[in-house]
Amino acid sequence: MMLPPDPHRLPPREAWFARDAERHLLDRPRFCPMCGEGLDADGGISTEYWAADARYFMTWCGACGWFGEGVRFDMVTITEVEH
Ligand SMILES: [Zn+2]
């Protein structure tokens, strides 16, 4: 029996981007932030790019058509108004 091709095939371990590809598969959005549908269904996609230390996931949902991006941070510093 033939298995279908692995849609999440990783590059060879010695490739310079192998660790980034692995992190992408682990950290990418899995569900649409608007409708909650799985992004693997209906042809949704999430593409990653970087700016400094921030990781941006440009995402499109095939179920509802939402198109936008999420940003992943390792750490963030915010201020809060005094109560
Ligand atoms: Zn959606």
pLDDT at 45: 92
Which residue in 30, 69, 25 sits closest to 50, CA to CA? 69
* Residue-range domain boundaries for the chain: 18-72
CA 42 / ligand 1 centre spacing (Å): 10
Rg (CA), the chain: 16
Among the residue ranges 12-16, 35-39, 60-64, 75-79, the one predicted with the least confidence is 75-79
Give, as one character, the DSSP assignment of residue 38.
B
CA 71 / ligand 1 centre spacing (Å): 17
Asked if the model's pLDDT at residue 36 lies above 90, the reply is yes
Asked if the model's pLDDT at residue 35 lies above 90, the reply is yes
Asked if the model's pLDDT at residue 72 lies above 90, the reply is no
CA 62 / ligand 1 centre spacing (Å): 7
